[in-house]
Structure formats: C-alpha cells, structure tokens
C-alpha cells in the first residue's frame, strides 16, 4: 500500500471535521488489522521455527522471554481491536458504509486522516489562543508610535525612513537595500497589528515581494518595532550568505537567504538576526 500523502490542516472546513475524524478512526482500524495479521507469523511462529532450526544460536530463556512479551503485547492489541470494533462509533461507521454505495479506489488510504484530524484540532487551538491574545492588545498611542520610530532612527541612521507626518506617523515609508517598503496598521484587524507591503508607486520587484511574503509568514513580526527591526535586517540581503550553509544562493531555487530569525532580544543595542535560505530553515 502506498504511503499516505502529507496533509494540510488548512484545507479542512469546519463542516468536514466530523467526517475527517470518522475517516481517521476507520484508518486506525485498518492499521490495527494490518498489525494483527503479522502477529502470529512474524512475532511468534517465525522466531520459534528459527530457534528450532538453529538450536545453538538461541538462548532458551531469552527466547521464552521474547515470546512471552510478544504474546502479551499481541493479546493487548487484540483486546484493543475488539473494544474498538464493538464500540458505538465503529458500529455507526459500518452502518453508514453498508447502507451507501461508496466508490472503491486503487489505494485504501491516500491521505493520513489521523494526522489531518490532529493537525486540524491543533490549528483550532492555536487560533483560539491567538484570538485570546489579540483581545488583550491595546492600540498604541501616537506618542508610542513616534517613540518607536525615533528609537529605530537612532539604531539605523543610514536607513531612509519617511513618516506621513510627525503627528500621525503612519504609514511609514522605508528604503532598505534599494527596495521601498511601506508599513501601516493592518486595517483588517482591530488590534495593534501591522502590515508590510511594497510602495504602490514603485516598480514591481520580485525580491521585495518575496521579503514581504516571508515577513508575513513569520510568527513574531506583528508589532511595529518588530517589523521595523526585521526590515532593517534585510539591508544586506544581496550580500549576506546563509548562516547555515554559508552560501549566498540556495542550491535548489537559487534564492537569497530570505528568512531573518531574531537571534537576540531587542534592547538598546541593534538586534541581531540569523539569515537563512528557506531550504535551510
């Protein structure tokens, strides 16, 4: 049987959760059957036969202990399978299977539904945690925003930064490595999150778009100070090699080290970032 394909929790609609969980249970039963089919021949009969054919190569006490352990483990597996088989959930599943015309594919399980169900549940937990954290965010005042920008200017005097005005700071235009970015508050969010994009008046830039995509995909870059610092870390994007493979371009897609991962906390000194290719992360 072919190995189950990797799953993606993002494709599971909430209405499909129950179906995925049922498929995961059926898949578990299928795997239990496969394991039980090998119990007698591989764990009990074959070791005994080999020992009888080669009496000098086996310690009787060790062989007996092995067979006893295998038998006890097999007995537990059989007991678990019987409990699952006679459970209400599985009986309901078999009723659905037997009363509907379901197509049979060439492979029993092309998707790992157990993993998919676990990932979906974990994603829901993460989403709930993020929403709870978002509820605690307070929108920064204009004075807070101005202080963040002034501190950033002090840390990176060589970078060109332009604010809307000194009172209403946002949006912020920033030039890094001859690439123009714009930082503004995320209008789709009611909390203190910010977004990065290329300046709309500029010519398209594939490198700039990849940097923006990488920042949006990172977990820690949501606050204004964090985003400004990570943008500043790209000022050597065209010359800095990957900290893992020590190469400027990756071997597979000839990409620059697009990932910037914080190495030290943000303080009075300039924060340090690790540069990585996506293949090396």
pLDDT tens, position by position, 52-103: 777 776 677 877 877 888 888 888 888 888 888 888 888 877 777 677 655 5
The answer to whether residues 260 and 233 touch, using CB atoms and an 8 Å cutoff, is: yes
- Backbone phi, psi, residue 176, to 5°: -130, 125
The closest alpha carbon to 163, from 147, 149, 142, 175, belongs to 149
Q: How confident is the model at residue 228 (pLDDT cuts 50, 70, 90)?
A: very high
Q: How confident is the model at residue 15 (pLDDT cuts 50, 70, 90)?
A: low
Whether the model pTM is above 0.95: no
pLDDT at 204: 74
Instruction: Name the CA radius of gyration of the chain, rounded.
Output: 29
- Which single residue is written with the structure tokens 């157990």? 114
62-66, 160-164, 229-233: least confident range: 62-66
pLDDT at residue 167 greater than cutoff 80: no
The stretches of 110-157 forming alpha helices (DSSP H) are 113-136, 142-155
pLDDT at 68: 83
Convert the pLDDT of each residue in 43-65 to its tens digit.
777 777 777 777 776 677 877 87
Count the Cβ atoms, other than its own, within 10 Å of residue 108.
14
pLDDT at 7: 44
Tokens of 245: 């493979």
The answer to whether residues 44 and 74 touch, using CB atoms and an 8 Å cutoff, is: yes
Average pLDDT, the chain: 76
pLDDT at residue 275 greater than cutoff 90: yes
CA atoms of 186 and 171, how far apart (whole Å)? 11
User: Higher-confidence residue: 40 or 132?
Assistant: 40
Question: What are the residues facing 273 on neighbouring strands?
Answer: 262
CB contact set of 237 (below 8 Å; sequence gap of 6+): 176, 177, 207, 211, 256, 257, 258
Distance of CA 41 to the CA centre of its chain: 40
pLDDT at 58: 67
DSSP state of 251: T
pLDDT at 1: 43
| Sign, Cα dihedral of 172, 202, 211, 260 | negative
């Amino acid at each position: 049987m072919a190995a189950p394909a990797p799953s993606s929790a993002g494709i599971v609609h909430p209405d499909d959760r129950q179906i995925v969980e049922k498929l995961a249970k059926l898949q578990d039963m299928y795997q239990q059957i496969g394991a039980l089919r090998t119990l007698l021949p591989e764990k009990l009969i074959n070791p005994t036969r080999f020992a009888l054919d080669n009496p000098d190569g086996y310690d009787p006490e060790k062989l007996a202990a092995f067979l006893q352990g295998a038998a006890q483990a097999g007995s537990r597996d059989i007991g678990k399978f019987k409990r699952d088989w006679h459970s209400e959930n599985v009986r309901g599943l078999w009723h659905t299977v037997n009363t509907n015309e379901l197509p049979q594919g060439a492979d029993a399980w092309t998707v790992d539904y157990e993993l998919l169900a676990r990932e979906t549940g974990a994603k829901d937990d993460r989403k709930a945690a993020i929403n709870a954290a978002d509820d605690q965010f307070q929108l920064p005042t204009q004075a807070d925003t101005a202080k963040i920008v002034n501190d950033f200017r002090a840390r990176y005097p060589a970078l060109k930064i332009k604010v809307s005005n000194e009172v209403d700071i946002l949006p912020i235009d920033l030039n890094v490595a001859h690439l123009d970015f714009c930082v503004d508050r995320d209008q789709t969010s009611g909390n203190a999150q910010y977004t990065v994009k290329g300046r709309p008046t500029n010519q398209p830039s594939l490198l700039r778009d990849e940097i923006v995509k990488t920042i949006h995909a990172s977990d820690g870059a949501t606050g204004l100070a964090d985003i400004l610092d990570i943008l500043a870390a790209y000022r050597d994007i065209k010359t800095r090699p990957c900290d893992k493979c020590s190469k400027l371009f990756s071997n597979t897609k000839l990409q620059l080290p697009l990932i910037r991962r914080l190495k030290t906390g943000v303080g009075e000194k300039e924060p340090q970032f690790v540069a990585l290719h996506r293949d090396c992360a």
